[in-house]
Structure 1
Amino acid sequence: MSRSIIVIGGGIIGASIAWHLTIAGAKVRLVCEKPGGIATPNSFAWINASWGNPHDYFKLRMRSIREWSRLGKDVAGLPLSWQGGLCWDLPEDKLLAYAEEHTSWGYDIKRLDAAEISAREPALVNIPEMALSAPLEGVAEPRDAAMILIADAMRRGMETVENARVTALKRDTAGRVSGVATDRGEWTVDEIVLAAGAETATLAAGIGVDVPIHTPPGLLVHSKPVPPMLNGLVIAPELHLRQTAEGRIVAGSDFGGTDPGTDPDAAADELFSKVKSFLKGGENLELDFHTTGYRPTPKDGFPIVGRVAGRDGLYLAVTHSGITLAPALGLFAAREILDGEDEALLAPYRLQRFA
């Protein structure tokens, strides 16, 4: 008999885990307030294994980049674009140190001079003397990717309960986490996957599990669609930009977004003014809307993934790097839940490290 599993959370992480569990033969019910998630639609959506992380995390991110390519072949219509990233978001000495380190780890990085940068991104107003090009990097349009994974899993037999707020996790008389209570009803299953983003800590606390996360806000501005201006991701000091397939320029002060402060509208106007002055023809850009996402970020900045000691039946998956890591975490979680495998790449990222 197939295992019955509830996945809580309709963002990219929950969608990927639910999809991988479904194709592996589990009986899956996805329970969420909104298909596509809450934080996921407000993501910058950069797929990368870029600077600032230790080697173990680099290896996990690189594996997930490869898994995105696999998933793109398995699921028709996933909105993936391998446009590459252009980065000069560090002082020159740190930029060169990053290039040297990551090249030694196997990351494809090329150093470009001003002429090469101008040829790559002719719309830039101010061309830096040097930047790094990472051809492996790309984008998964976040909400659409999650929705397509959910729809494909539903075609394969997954159930979805939408517009449902989970109010509590339930334990049986033996102490096993065995069900959920929602404002749409209660269900008992073999396993619970808690991938509820910012709500993860609150739901886990209800059964005595401390999940140390915070949820910093990140504001992104979105222009009205325009003809092509950018050829890839641009990771510049104090401004990260990309252009969507429909032509919108999406930007934040970094990939996590801008602090919206107490006046998000004013913060969005100020940020969009920087975007307009950053690009040739930018004076013709029009702000369409801005978004503020609350990124579920574990205390030490790295994912929390895996079973919880002393809480049989519960599997956690929470990370601030959901777009990059989604396909690998989905694959690994399905194997760990259904086959009892321990994935070595996830060993540093168990909740127990905070004990």
Structure 2
Amino acid sequence: MTVVVVGAGVYGAAVTASLTERGAHVLLVEAAAAGGGTSGATFAWTNSSGRHPRPYHDLRVAGMEAHRRLAAAVPGSDWYHESGNLEWVAGDDEREKLRTRVAGLVARGYETQWLSRAEVVALEPGIAPDELPAAEIVFFPREGWLEPARLIGHLLASSAARGAELVTGDPVTGLEIPAGGGFSVRLASGRRIAAEAVVNCAGPQADEIARLAGLDLPMRNTRGVLVRTAPTAPTAAAAVPVSRVVRAPRVHLRPDGSGGLLLHSAEIDRALGTSDTGEISVAPSAVEELLEAGRTLYPGTRPAAGATDAAGTAGTAGTAAHSVLVGERPIPTDGLPVLGRVADLPRFHFAVSHSGATLCLHAGDLVAAEVLGEDRGEALAAFRFERFRPPGG
């Protein structure tokens, strides 16, 4: 069976790997570079500690388990880091919400621990104790983070070894459905690919690919900002003083896998601006505020005197070399994934969601199985495209 997978981010790579493992011939088509879209600008935190409907929570937990299995099965795997997540909040109202959320997670059997300030400092010696509350710091030990580029590289390499073809820099511009069934996929280069099935893993552009198939996929994509710092030591192998995901009131941060840090906050997302010409930018003051919040929480991340910026020039005290990443998050309008076949077009499949880093391996495998005729109706029932259609539509 020949399948065209559209989009070579974490979802497209995972679906392709699962399809080829099952014996399908796959052409993975990417408009730009593999992993260069949303997957290249994501916090990549694997978790299910939010307030999610039960089917979505269970899907995310299964996604976390799929990452554990793959990492354990591949010798030398270096992309998955299950080091846990520390979280605390400021203010009585927020603390009450956190207590309620944690109680709900405990009731679902999700592994959770309440820690004191001293216990957190023992876990994270580089953290500033006076930045922590005395208690009510929650630790989710089975959560972690990914290095998406390395995961995608592994999945694509294993797929190529089983005959998959990767086509990059050539967007899909048309889908035709011949009278005999299947699809004719037209690319910008003029190439046409005959396929028996198509899987839409196009992330923020998933609605555009859906329209080519005559489908209306409602999306409410948002842009997110990450700040990546340069390595804090001369060699990338040197450890940063942060060991895990840390979600503090003013900054969320984690190691980036190359000796630096990845930082995020809701405030820096709000600092995004778009010029009259469509150019996207982030206020430098917001970037500096986020960096300073990270330095305050982890004093060991402050650059040494005389440190230089990314251009090699001397910076002001406390300024580290950094880069700003802006990514577009693919979010269906109800916030839930869209997965699996379309009832009226059963050879057209979706694998689209926010939190692709958590879900990609498990959800991608479910979708791949369904493409090849296996029954995954029970697992995918809550995530079908048809939920967006009006009754009787």
**Is the pair's TM-score, using the shorter chain for normalization, greater than 0.5?**
yes
* Distance in 2 between residues matched to 1:37 and 1:213, nearest whole Å: 21
The answer for the alignment partner of 1:325 in structure 2 is 359
User: Which residue does 1:207 correspond to in 2?
Assistant: 213
3-state SS, counterpart of residue 298 of structure 1 = coil
Distance in 2 separating the partners of 1:70 and 1:117: 28
> What are the ranges of 5 or more consecutive residues in structure 1 without an aligned counterpart?
none
| 1:260 to partner: Cα distance | 4.0
Matches within 5 A, 1:55-94: 55-76=54-75, 77-89=77-89, 91-94=94-97
TM-score where L is the length of structure 1: 0.94
TM-score normalised by structure 2 residue count: 0.85
Between the aligned partners of 1:89 and 1:182, the Cα distance in structure 2 is 48
SS of residue matched to 1:160 = strand
Q: Which has the higher mean CA deviation after the structures are superposed, 20-29 or 90-99? A: 90-99
Cross-structure match for 1:187: 193
Mapped contact 2:182–2:194 kept (Cα < 8 A): no
Superposition pairs of residues 168-317 of structure 1, within 5 angstroms: 168-173=174-179, 176=181, 178-184=183-189, 185-226=191-232, 227-254=239-266, 258-262=269-273, 263-266=281-284, 267-284=286-303, 286-317=320-351
Query: How far apart in 1 are the matches of 2:42 and 2:374?
Result: 32
Is the Cα–Cα contact under 8 Å of residues 217 and 257 in structure 1 kept in the other structure?
Answer: no
Q: 115, 120, 144: which one pairs with 1:117?
A: 120
Percent identity, aligned pairs only? 30
- Partner residue in 2 for 1:163: 169
1:180-220 per-position Cα deviation (integer Å, ceiling 9, x unaligned): 11123110110000101111101211232011112211010
- The DSSP-based 3-state class of the residue aligned with 2:299 is coil
How many residues align? The count is 351
1:83-111 per-position Cα deviation (integer Å, ceiling 9, x unaligned): 11111147221212222211121111010
CA contact (8 A) 1:8 1:30 kept: yes
Shift of 1:78: 4.7
Unmatched segments (≥5 aa) in structure 2: 233-238, 274-280, 304-318
Q: SS at the partner of 1:56? A: helix
Contact 2:241 2:301 in 1 (8 A): no
Query: Within the alignment, does 1:46 sit opposite 2:45 as a pair?
Result: yes
Does the CA contact (< 8 Å) of 1:177 and 1:314 recur in 2? no
Cα gap change, 1:78/1:150 in structure 2, threshold over 3 Å: closer, same or farther? farther
CA distance in 2, matches of 1:53, 1:161: 36
Q: Larger Cα Rg: Structure 1 or Structure 2?
A: 2
- The residue identity in structure 1 corresponding to 2:133 is P
CA contact under 8 A between 1:7 and 1:18: conserved in structure 2? yes
Two-structure CA RMSD over aligned residues (Å): 1.8
- Bigger drift between 15-24 and 267-276 goes to 267-276
- Please report how far the alpha carbon of residue 136 of structure 1 lies from its aligned counterpart in structure 2 after TM superposition: 0.3
Moved more, 39-48 or 149-158: 149-158
How big is the shift at 1:270? 3.1
The answer as to whether partners of 1:118 and 1:127 remain within 8 angstroms in 2 is no
* Cα drift, residue 235 of structure 1: 1.1
Q: Deviations over 1:45-88 (max 9, x none)?
A: 10011122122111111111111112223445351111111111
Aligned to 1:127: 132
Structure 1 counterpart of 2:322, one-letter code? D
- Displacement of 1:345: 2.5
User: Is the Cα–Cα contact under 8 Å of residues 31 and 162 in structure 1 kept in the other structure?
Assistant: yes
